[in-house]
Amino acid sequence: MTPAEKRAGAALAAIFALRMLGLFLVLPVFSVFAKTLPGGDNIFWVGLAFGIFGLAQACMQIPFGMASDRYGRKPVIVFGLLLYAAGSLMAMWAPDIGWMTAARTLQGLGAISAAVSALAADLVREQHRTKVMAMIGSTIGLVFAASLVIAPALYAAIGMDGLFLVIAGLALLAIPLLLKVVPDPVAPPVVQPPPPLGRVLADGQLMRLNFGVFAVHLVQMAMFLMVPRLLVEHVGTPVSEHWKIYLPVVLASFVLMVPAIIWTEKRARHRTLLLAAIAAMGASQLLFLLSGDTLITIAGGLFVFFTAFNLLEASLPSLVSRIAPPSAKGAALGAFNTAQAVGAALGSSVGGAIALRFDAAGVFIFCTAIAAVWWLWARTMKSPPVVALREYAIGDHVDLDTLRSRLAVLPGVREASIEAERRMAYVRVNLEHWDEDGVRRLLDAPAAS
């Protein structure tokens, strides 16, 4: 990757980390804190206040993604971070469980995941996008593991009001990081007009990926409803010690993830990696099902799951950005992140309903079945299109304004940009549909490379 791509990837990963740390810090302590609020003795309201964040996220991912296609990525991300910070300050003030629910809703309305992912796709070449998505996914995994360690200590030291103040500060800190460190795209590319949203949502290739991220987070939430119970009831490990298992497992999974991603990028075997990761996710659930009563087998299942989870978190958004129409990347990633939020929201409730009747074994069977269904559907997926960058010298008599509009409608063109001073055209093309002779006639010049 170029230095600019590395800087963009690291900065966007840091923004995701600051945003997700604010979310994860609440997870281990919210239910305890909620009991201290007026109305917090009502378990329905506590569950609603906790889960409404994900529902609000699910509702706003597509609108935020579409807005980023139209108004630019950075303004939309800044607006989302301000909403999240405002919701955090409102939660700090909330006098009862009703106001806390409203505050969590306002937090969730700042749904920036699609816009951040689209900005990463804008700034990084296609052959390196999976690496950047892996950086972001790895950061989220590390933040999740770290939150399990530091959240109880912070809650004991500064209380929930202090935690919400820290969360608001983290969101505001991400704004100068975005504006000062993350580079701007060199120039807005010339692309075809955005297709109708319905066509993006109905695209069969994208539907497979949307179902995939839904399945990943459904399985994650349902699984983590059971794994802590296994550690307590079968292994005898108290909740306060669980991070000593999660953190090494997450770190070890990163070690295996890196060479897998490098191999995938070099060999262009994205579909192979996807199928292998789905199979590994299903295998982790079988490990829990068949022998989930010892520390070794539980740690082994967690290692297999987190390896698959990290690979999928890196590859799925990268595949969406490759397959989606360039003018609708934000909308496509918005639908993708909506599916993710819905999967996370349903995972706990569906897992709880199954566990109530069939115990942990029923949950792991359900999760295995979900992975199997997804694997069978993913098998029918086509490999992503082969995309290449072509550079062309533009003839002296060619009008550049006319050329911009004509380039956008050429068969096979995904993106195109024009450097007026050097009279050069840079065209990113789908080689399966590319008409080399047609573009040379249009530009009235031979290919420069």
Question: Is pLDDT larger for residue 1 or for residue 207?
Answer: 207
Q: Does the pLDDT at position 447 exceed 50?
A: no
Residue 427 tokens, joined: 């065209």
Residues of the chain with CATH 1.20.1250.20: 1-189, 194-384
Question: Across residues 136-156, what is the average pLDDT?
Answer: 73
Least trusted range by pLDDT, from 326-340, 357-371, 404-418: 404-418
- Domain formed by 1-189, architecture: Up-down Bundle (1.20)
Cα–Cα dist 155/152, whole Å: 5
pLDDT exceeds cutoff 90 at 366: yes
Whether the pLDDT of residue 22 is over 80: the answer is no
What would the pLDDT profile of 381-402 be if each residue is shown by its tens digit? 877 666 666 677 777 777 776 7
Lowest-pLDDT choice from 164-173, 189-198, 257-266: 189-198
Whether the pLDDT of residue 415 is over 60: the answer is yes
Q: Which residues pair with 350 in a beta bridge?
A: none
Read off the pLDDT of each residue in 182-193 and give the average, rounded to a whole number: 60
Dihedral of the CA atoms 237, 344, 206, 375 (nearest 10)? Answer: 40
209/312 Cα distance (integer angstroms): 10
Which pLDDT does position 446 carry in this prediction? 45
Domain boundaries for CATH 3.30.70.100 within the chain: 387-443
Q: What is the pTM of this model?
A: 0.70
Q: How many angstroms separate the most distant Cα atoms in the chain? A: 79
CB neighbours (10 Å) of residue 154? 17
Kindly state the DSSP code that residue 409 receives in the 8-state scheme. Answer: T
Which neighbouring-strand residues pair with 417?
426
Q: Which residue has the higher pLDDT, 292 or 92?
A: 92
- Higher pLDDT: 224 or 377? It is 377
Q: What is the pLDDT of residue 449?
A: 44
> How far is residue 306's CA from residue 283's CA, in Å, rounded to a whole number?
12
For residue 240, what pLDDT band results from cuts at 50, 70 and 90?
A: low
Phi-psi region of 445 (alpha: psi -120 to 50; beta: other; left: phi over 0): beta
Fold of 194-384: Growth Hormone; Chain: A; (1.20.1250)
The CATH number given to 387-443 is 3.30.70.100
pLDDT digits (tens, 9 = 90+) for 52-62: 787 787 788 88
CA distances from 228 to 141, 232, 237, 338, 360 (A): 17, 6, 9, 27, 11
Residues above pLDDT 90, as percent of the chain: 12
Using the predicted structure, report yes or no on whether residue 311 has a pLDDT greater than 70.
yes
The SS3 call for residue 210 is helix
Mean pLDDT of the chain: 78
